[in-house]
Amino acid sequence: MHPFLNAAQLAAHRRRNLLHSIVLVSSMSLIVMGSAALIWSVPGALGAGLFVAALVAVGPRVPAGAVMRLYKAVPVDGRNGPQLQRLIEVLAERAELGRQPRLYVIPSATLNAFATGSPSDAAIGITEGLLRRLDLRQVAGVIAHEMSHIRNNDLHVMAMADALTRFTQLLAYLGVVLALLNIPAMLLGLDTFSWLAILLLYLAPMLTSLLQMGLSRTREYDADLEAAGLTGDPVGLASALASLERYQGRFWEDLMLPVPSRRIPCPSLLRSHPETADRIARLQALEARASKVRPIVISEGPLFSLVGRGPASMAPRYRTLGLWY
Going by C-alpha positions, the residue among 175, 172, 174 that lies closest to residue 195 is 175
Cis ω before 295 (30° cut-off from 0): no
Active site residues: 146
> What distance in Å separates the CA atoms of residue 148 and residue 227, rounded to the nearest whole number?
6
DSSP element (H, E) containing 116: strand 113-118
Would you call 319 helix, strand, or coil by DSSP?
strand
Point out which residues pair with 124 in neighbouring strands. Answer: 103, 115
Collapsing DSSP states into helix, strand and coil, what is residue 77?
coil
Which residues 6+ apart lie within 8 Å of 275 measured at CB? 268
CA gap 319, 321 in Å, rounded = 6
Judge whether 2 and 225 are in contact, CB under 8 Å: yes
Grouping H, G, I as helix, E, B as strand and the rest as coil, residue 256 is: coil
74-75 sheet: strands from edge to edge? 74-75, 102-106, 121-127, 113-118
- 301 half-sphere exposure, CB direction, 13 A CA radius: 10
Would you call 198 helix, strand, or coil by DSSP? Answer: helix
